[in-house]
Amino acid sequence: MAVRHEKDGAPGYALTTLESLIAWGRKYSLYPFTFATACCGIEVMGAFGTHYDLSRFGAEVVRFSPRQADVLLVAGTINYKMAPVLKRIYDQMLEPKWVISMGACACSGGFYNNYTVLQGIDKIVPVDVYIPGCPPNPEGIIDAVVRIQKIIETGAPRAAERWPLK
């Protein structure tokens, strides 16, 4: 049961204790599916590495099967050939799921404005958090994961619930 409230001017939802407990568990054990196609994939590997260490935030267990993953981390350029693959992977994930769009290419096509690059994955999947940068620092990825954790914690509506945009 969610009750709408305002805090610091930002809308949010207050959760019941059980839901808060579930949200707490969920946010600290995110299973990312790293859909890493290009250069951003190398920075994802850096984020999971020992220096930046994403496992401090609980998102350590990387699952390469969409059935087992929570968060779809799209890192890299998606072109028209790859787009159906991405959509299929997204559809195969189970609810609740979140999508992080990492890097300029995934957010909006990057500086590739041509016949082959999809100008942003939000044309085909709903995105919760966008990370700008080309490529973003691994700290950007950590920031995105923390934002997803905030979304889970406050019970804010996921992007998938507002999709498709009319």
Partner 1 sequence: MSIVLERLRERFPAEVVSTHSDFGDDTALVRRERIVEILAFLRDDPELRFDFAMDLTGVDYLGEEPRFEVVYHLYSLEKKRRVRIKARLPEDDPVIDTAVPVWPGIDWYEREAWDMYGIVFRGHPNLKRILMYEAFEGHPLRKDYPKAKRQPTIGPEE
Partner 2 sequence: MAEPVEITANVGTPDLQAEPMLINIGPSHPATHATLRFRATLDGETILDLVPEFGYLHRGFEKESEAATWTQVVPYTDRLNYVSPLMNNVGYAMAVEKLCGIEITERCKYVRVIISELSRIIDHMVCVGTNMVDLGALTNFWYFWKPREEVYFLIEELCGQRLTTSYTRIGGAMADLPEGWTDRVLAVCRGVIPECIADVNALLTKNRIFIERTMGVGPISAKDAVSLGFTGPCLRAAGVPLDLRKDEPYLVYDRFDFDVCIGEAGDTCDRYLVRMEEMRQSLRIIEQAVAQLPGGPINIDDPRFILPGKPQVYENIEALMNHFKFIMEGVKVPAGEVYSATEAANGELGFYIVSRGGGGPYKIKVRPPCFPLFQGIPHLVKGQMIADLIATLGSVNIIAGELDR
CB of 116 to partner 1, least distance (A): 7
Rounded CA-CA distance 61/100 in Å is 16
Nearest residue to 140 via CA among 102, 109, 108, 112: 102
Whether 101 contacts 74, CB under 8 Å = yes
- Applying CB under 8 A, the span of 14-22, 132-140, 145-153, 157-165 interacting with partner 2 comes to 132-140
Closest to partner 1 by CB, 23 vs 83, is 83
For the CB of residue 92, give the shortest distance to partner 1 in the complex, in Å: 14
Pairing outcome for strands 32-36 and 129-131: unpaired
Check residue 81 for interaction with partner 2 (CB under 8 A). yes
Stretch that binds partner 1, among 10-18, 62-70, 113-121, 135-143 (CB under 8 A): 113-121
Q: Which of residues 85-104 bind partner 2 (CB under 8 A)?
A: 85-86, 89
Encoded tokens for 67: 């059935």
Residues 106 and 40: beta-carbon distance below 8 Å:
yes
Name the residues that contact partner 1, by CB under 8 A.
80-81, 83-84, 87, 113-116, 118-119, 123-124, 163-164
